[in-house]
Amino acid sequence: MLEIKNLHAGIDGKEILHGLTLSVGTGEVHAIMGPNGSGKSTLANVLAGRPRYSVTAGSVTYEGKDLLSMPVEERAREGVFLAMQYPVEIPGVNNIYFLKAALNSVRKHRGEEELDALEFLQLARQKMKVVDLDEAFMNRAVNEGFSGGEKKRNEIFQMAVLDPKLAILDETDSGLDIDALRIVAGGVNALRSEKHSVLVITHYQRLLSYLIPDFVHVLANGRIVKSGGKELAEELEQKGYEWIEQEVAAGA
Amino acid sequence: MSNTIEQIANQEYKYGFVTDIESDVAPPGLNEDIVRLISAKKDEPEWLLQWRLRSFRQWLTMKEPTWANVHYPPIDYQASRYYSAPKQKRALNSLDEVDPELRRTFEKLGISLEEQKRLSGVAVDAVFDSVSVATTFRVELAKLGIIFCSFSEAVREHPDLVRKYLGSVVPYTDNFFATLNSAVFSDGSFCYIPKGVRCPMELSTYFRINTAGTGQFERTLIIADEGAYVSYLEGCTAPMRDENQLHAAVVELVALDGATIKYSTVQNWYPGDKEGKGGIYNFVTKRGKAFKGSKISWTQVETGSAITWKYPSCILQGDDSVGEFYSVALTNNYQQADTGTKMIHIGKNTRSTIVSKGISAGHGQQTYRGAVKILKSAVDARNYSQCDSLLLGDKCGAHTFPYIEVRNPSARMEHEASTSKIGEDQLFYCQQRGISAEDAVSMIVNGFCREVFRELPMEFAVEAQKLLSVSLEGSVG
Amino acid sequence: MKAAVNSAPATEVLQRIREQAGQRFAQLGWPTTHLEEWQYTNLQPLQSRFEAGAFREAPCRTGFPACPEEDRLESLSYTGGTLRGALAELVFVNGVYAPEASTFAGSSVPRVPRGSSGRAVPETEEPEEPRNRGLRIWTLREAPLEILEQHFARYADYANHAMTALNTANAEDGAVVEVTGVVEGFVHLLFVGSAGFQSYPRNLVIAGRGAQIAVVETYAGSGSYFTNAVTEIVAGDGAVVDHYKLESESLEAFHIGTVHVHQERASSVTSRSISIGGGVVRNDVSVSLAGEGASLVLDGLFITAGTQHVDNHTLIDHVVPHCDSIELYKGVLDGNSRGIFDGRIIVRPDAQKTVSRQNNKNLLLSDTAIVDSKPTLEISNDDVKCNHGSTIGQLEEEPLFYLRSRGIGESEARDMLVYAFASEIVDRMKLEPVREQIRRAMSRQMPRGGEQR
């Protein structure tokens, strides 16, 4: 599904990822953990194509295609979804209208028929239940007046509607209480199948108790320094990131 | 991606052509002789000349206001021409006699002067520089007792009405620009809706500045008698020129007991070029007086002019009267706008609503300035104010100055204000969900303006939406 | 460092800070209405009674003899007692911990032994669910020195705020709640005052990295007394804190309370300040959003009648980028009462991408009630999304008419509408027992409308 090879990338001319290599197979859930400033968010943003981030070396292949050469919206239409760390407010555009426009542009790209308002509403209502969002939210402007937790749940709701092939969660668990965390995990677990891959970027082990990853990678100083199974996340939680840094230093 | 935002700022002005027509123009400069000349050109009665002269003398004692948040080099009032009229036959017997060149001009602007091509029932008064060149559907309207004609004609045909109401809402001493207008106004529209009559079509005036170095000073007076209803539309354009041209209009609305006046404007004067060169200086005084149980509703879409200085206001004099102000203002490139409204609650149980939406792009600067005054006499007054600013890019600015003065404790006041910025992050968010940048901006801008657009009559709403979406054409790189 | 600390009793640390704060209070003096921050609230009547010795300190400054039984019982019956379902409930009478009235995890336990490491709430037997791990509670005087050294008086600014200085100078007791894991229940701190006393409750809530906790503070009592409370809340990296302050003091009481919240990266705090009782009340809530991605919901509700005076000042300080704050304060004012909302939001130059929303809505039920609404935004940064609003109004005629036309009596209809107005705040509280408590308190003021739901 996704092959990242020797990726060097950064923001505003400052290199943050120094040769990252990662392979995510179809149907797999990978967690990427690491301390602040290790490059976790840079990786997410580079994959989605956020402006100001630039790639200086390496390649990213997504379903056999060169992901980095695609414009942002094409990546989205090809099924790459980024649940953002800081979902922004879009004033004046109501949530449901926004999502319908998004879904239809994705469907059009796939050669599927566009959904009319009624069909869309049906789908949206069904997915809304998954994330326990009140329908009143849907008629407000995108993310406007949403609390931090509601914004994150809205990201998962959008993910559920758009049904991406590769979902990237950039610190979606930050600031969530345990109930919201279960909801987010439930949303991702509902998406899990042999056709969908998920990349969970997180600072904490908490989310991974509900969303059991197939692989856990530790990112430090712009490289993956350790990979393992779900037990690696628990070890990290107990020993802290200093442990990894020491281990890497010892190994170097 | 940020290109999209820049390209919005680089829209083309589509109405910038000049009509080649011979004009009768006054020499540049402003003095009593010019005032007399304008009055003489129009065969005005003595009382009106005297009113103009009083205004002129008053104006000489006044200073140009500086409190507005707009910046421009000093205006040389002696350099401008105060009268320009296309040469044509003195009196027209029918619309067919309108100069074909003028007719073509208005057609190019999308305004048909042929009644057969009526725009779903809109009567038009077309004003070219200083004079009204044609008014459509007059006969049909006259059957209902509705008077809709040029201001000059009203002075001749209905002097009593004009004399009774001229200056009754905006006195000639009101402010620097209104006083200037009172001295030199040339033409404009007049309309009177008799008691109990609901005007069956939209009345509309289209203002066009054509001649170089000319200021336009039109005067509009609308009187809705008891229980009458009228919806009035105003549109404006001007050619592209490097120099700045002055437009200082006055609009007076009188809504007698139980009447309703809905006044809509789509202002698209030439805004100047990308570097801020040229464009119209638009200093306008618009005010309505609402008597018992009446309603005055202002809706404006302001996309043009280099400088806009405009505060359509309501004096809610009668008990149970209602004032409304819905506004979308777009400032682009180097445009500046200082606009808002004043709602003065005098009568009991008076209500006012203010919805202002400001969009700034490029280096545009925009100020919302609104005043709500609840006087002691205004028991149970209510006001709702909403004031939202949208910034496209990071070189523009928005400022909000709400003034609220409450002298009666029974008042119920609601105020909301917001400032949002559409930048890289918002566009990236939309694109990451599969929506193109162009669609995203158009969605955001239209969504932002929706509450105001829905107040506009259908034809105008379409035009307004077009005006704002023109800016997006060709913006996908 | 830690070794030295262990040998020194906590009271010495407190004593040092107390002395500094006392000196500071002597310099600052009682606030007067000449100060912008105090222009709406005149403390002169409180000050003169205070200085005339009208309020005595609780008789149990050291050790733990029980407080006068009759005072406590009277007070407890006024508040309607305890909150159902609290993991732990600590009761303070006139500012002093009352172990015999306090409970841990539903069972009455003696006070936390001196010098112990706090009392851990028993963990549940669900290994997959990291519930209720790492909750420790002490009274202020029992709290471990390292916690006090690190956090006590570090957030609530006693150098510039006289009433915070007065509390800090006199702070003897209160609760220290530390949580390092996810706790799904809530801790209740109940402060009961009685006639003729002054008290200085001082609380500290520390939520560590990724921790979760809910804390409810209730202030109640009977007769004329003076409560000067300060609560400091620290939400660490990714922590989630749900905080409630219910001010339900006696109508003759003076209540001056400060809540200061300090938020670190990606933390999420909801703090709600409900004022129903009190004669003269001043609530200061200040929050500093000091870590990127922190998110805040600040709610307030004040319901006043008679001659009550309730002054709410809030300050939200956006220090770093990418923080959200949503603030909604609602006031319902009847009789000759006066309510104030003065909300300040500061967006610092570095705080790009700030999203801030502030709203104050007030309902005046009489011609003589007064409300002052002063929302202010101070923005030193242009890449922000800010929104603020303010409403002052009376009950709408039409819904009132509608209800009456369906046979509902006028006063009942009024109460129902007032209740509906207030319920926007109440309904979004997560803790059902708290919602219930507030509804009960409201129904005392609105006997006909409050129990409708």
**Tens-place pLDDT, residues B344-374:** 999 999 999 999 999 888 888 888 888 898 9
Local confidence band at B416 (pLDDT 50, 70, 90 cut-offs): confident
Local confidence band at C43 (pLDDT 50, 70, 90 cut-offs): very high
Element at B315 (helix H, strand E): strand B313-316
B471-476: long-range pairs with CB below 8 Å, 24+: B471/B8, B471/B11, B471/B330, B471/B332, B471/B361, B472/B7, B472/B8, B472/B438, B472/B441, B472/B442, B473/B11, B474/B7, B475/B3, B475/B4, B475/B7, B475/B8, B475/B437, B475/B438, B475/B441, B476/B4, B476/B436, B476/B437, B476/B438
Task: Give the chains touching A; criterion: ≥3 Cβ pairs < 8 Å.
Answer: B, C
Element at A30 (helix H, strand E): strand A29-33
**Tens-place pLDDT, residues C402-416:** 888 888 888 888 888
Interface test mutation site (partner B, options C327, C338, C394, max chain B beta carbons within 10 A): C394
C298 forms beta bridges with C271, C327
A75-84, B197-206, C378-387: least confidently modelled range? C378-387
- CATH architecture assigned to A2-251: 3-Layer(aba) Sandwich (3.40)
Look at A205 and C203; give whichever has higher pLDDT. Answer: C203
| 3-state DSSP helix/strand/coil % of chain B, to nearest 5 | 25, 35, 40
What is the arithmetic mean of pLDDT over A106-121? 92
Q: For chain C, give the mean pLDDT.
A: 83
Is 50 exceeded by the pLDDT of residue B39? yes
Domain residue ranges in chain C: 10-291, 395-453
Structure tokens at A107: 């469907």
Confidence at residue B452, expressed as pLDDT on a 0 to 100 scale: 87
Confidence at residue C127, expressed as pLDDT on a 0 to 100 scale: 36
Residue in chain B nearest C322 by alpha carbon: B425
Local confidence band at B241 (pLDDT 50, 70, 90 cut-offs): low
Is 60 exceeded by the pLDDT of residue C77? no
Structure tokens at B263: 């006044």
Is 80 exceeded by the pLDDT of residue C66? no
B98-112, B172-186, C303-317: least confidently modelled range? B98-112
| Amino acid letter, residue C420 | A
B9 min Cα distance to partner chain A (Å)? 20
Q: For chain B, give the mean pLDDT.
A: 83
**Which of A239-248, B293-302, B420-429: highest mean pLDDT?**
B293-302
Residues of B with Cβ-Cβ distance to C367 under 8 angstroms = 409-410
**Tens-place pLDDT, residues C415-447:** 888 888 998 899 989 999 999 888 888 877 664
B156-170, B455-469, C140-154, C158-172: least confidently modelled range? B455-469
Specify the 3-state DSSP secondary structure of B192: strand
Closest CA to B263 of B220, B216, B318, B200: B220
C126 reaches A (C-beta below 8 A): no
**Tens-place pLDDT, residues B442-461:** 888 888 888 888 888 776 77
Query: What percent of chain C clears pLDDT 90, i.e. is strictly above it?
Result: 52
A197 reaches B (C-beta below 8 A): no
A31-45, B121-135, B374-388, C342-356: least confidently modelled range? B121-135
Query: Nearest by CB to B414, which of C388, C391, C394?
Result: C391
Local confidence band at C9 (pLDDT 50, 70, 90 cut-offs): low
Residues of C with Cβ-Cβ distance to B415 under 8 angstroms = 389-391
Is 70 exceeded by the pLDDT of residue A119? yes
A187-191, B22-26, B95-99, C351-355: least confidently modelled range? B95-99
Structure tokens at B264: 């809509």
Look at C308 and B86; give whichever has higher pLDDT. Answer: C308
Interchain CB distance below 8 Å, A178 and C238:
no
Look at C224 and B28; give whichever has higher pLDDT. Answer: C224
Q: Contact, C421 vs C394, CB < 8 A?
A: no
What does C88-154 look like in DSSP terms, one character per residue? EEEEEETTEE-GGG-EETTEE-PPPPTTS--EEPPPPS-TTS-BT-SEEEEEGGGS-HHHHHHHTTS
Number of alpha carbons in the 13 Å side-chain half-sphere of residue C156: 29
B235 forms beta bridges with B206, B266
Q: Is C427 exposed, middle or buried (0-12, 13-18, 19+ CB in 10 A)?
A: exposed
**Tens-place pLDDT, residues B44-88:** 999 999 999 999 999 999 998 888 888 888 888 888 888 887 765
Is 90 exceeded by the pLDDT of residue C226? yes
Confidence at residue B344, expressed as pLDDT on a 0 to 100 scale: 96
Confidence at residue C2, expressed as pLDDT on a 0 to 100 scale: 30
Confidence at residue B10, expressed as pLDDT on a 0 to 100 scale: 54
C378 reaches B (C-beta below 8 A): no
Confidence at residue B6, expressed as pLDDT on a 0 to 100 scale: 54
Query: Nearest by CB to C210, which of A86, A171, A206?
Result: A206
Element at A199 (helix H, strand E): strand A197-202
Confidence at residue C410, expressed as pLDDT on a 0 to 100 scale: 84
Interchain CB distance below 8 Å, B419 and C387:
yes
CA B440, B442, B443 angle in degrees (round to 5)?
Answer: 65
Local confidence band at B118 (pLDDT 50, 70, 90 cut-offs): very low
**Tens-place pLDDT, residues C328-345:** 999 999 999 999 999 999
Is 50 exceeded by the pLDDT of residue C1? no
**Residue reference for tokens 């404009």:** B188
Confidence at residue B121, expressed as pLDDT on a 0 to 100 scale: 56
Number of alpha carbons in the 13 Å side-chain half-sphere of residue C374: 16
C-alpha span between B329 and B367 (Å, rounded) = 10
Look at C71 and B176; give whichever has higher pLDDT. Answer: B176
Query: Nearest by CB to A88, which of B2, B418, B425?
Result: B425
Specify the 3-state DSSP secondary structure of C403: helix
C387 min Cα distance to partner chain B (Å)? 4
Query: What percent of chain A clears pLDDT 90, i.e. is strictly above it?
Result: 62
C-alpha span between A88 and A218 (Å, rounded) = 28
Is 80 exceeded by the pLDDT of residue A88? yes
Look at B173 and B235; give whichever has higher pLDDT. Answer: B173
Task: Give the chains touching B; criterion: ≥3 Cβ pairs < 8 Å.
Answer: A, C
**Tens-place pLDDT, residues A126-167:** 998 888 888 888 888 899 888 888 999 999 999 999 999 999
Confidence at residue C109, expressed as pLDDT on a 0 to 100 scale: 35
H-helix segments, chain A: 40-48, 72-77, 95-109, 117-131, 135-138, 148-162, 178-191, 230-239, 241-251
C-alpha span between A3 and A22 (Å, rounded) = 6
Interface test mutation site (partner B, options C326, C361, C392, C397, max chain B beta carbons within 10 A): C392
Structure tokens at B360: 């700034």
C-alpha span between B295 and B297 (Å, rounded) = 6
Interface test mutation site (partner A, options C295, C298, C385, max chain A beta carbons within 10 A): C295
Local confidence band at B239 (pLDDT 50, 70, 90 cut-offs): low
Local confidence band at A20 (pLDDT 50, 70, 90 cut-offs): very high
Strands, E assignment, C149-225: 175-179, 182-194, 197-199, 202-207, 212-222
**Tens-place pLDDT, residues B267-285:** 887 778 777 788 888 899 9
Structure tokens at C20: 């500094």
Is 70 exceeded by the pLDDT of residue A188? yes
Is 60 exceeded by the pLDDT of residue C375? yes
CA B25 to chain centre: 25
C288 reaches A (C-beta below 8 A): no
C184 reaches A (C-beta below 8 A): yes
Confidence at residue A56, expressed as pLDDT on a 0 to 100 scale: 94
Which ipTM value was assigned to this complex? 0.90
Interchain CB distance below 8 Å, C293 and A174:
yes
Is 90 exceeded by the pLDDT of residue A36? no
Residue in chain C nearest B382 by alpha carbon: C393
C-alpha span between C306 and B110 (Å, rounded) = 65
Interchain CB distance below 8 Å, B414 and C388:
no
Confidence at residue B320, expressed as pLDDT on a 0 to 100 scale: 96
Rg (CA), chain A: 18
Query: Nearest by CB to B412, which of C387, C389, C392?
Result: C392
Is 50 exceeded by the pLDDT of residue C302? yes
| 3-state DSSP helix/strand/coil % of chain C, to nearest 5 | 25, 40, 35
Confidence at residue A37, expressed as pLDDT on a 0 to 100 scale: 84
Non-local (6+) Cβ contacts of B202 within 8 A are B121, B122, B123, B231, B232, B233, B457, B459
A21 reaches C (C-beta below 8 A): no
Interchain CB distance below 8 Å, B394 and C389:
no
C-alpha span between C214 and C205 (Å, rounded) = 10
Is 90 exceeded by the pLDDT of residue B243? no
Is 50 exceeded by the pLDDT of residue A215? yes
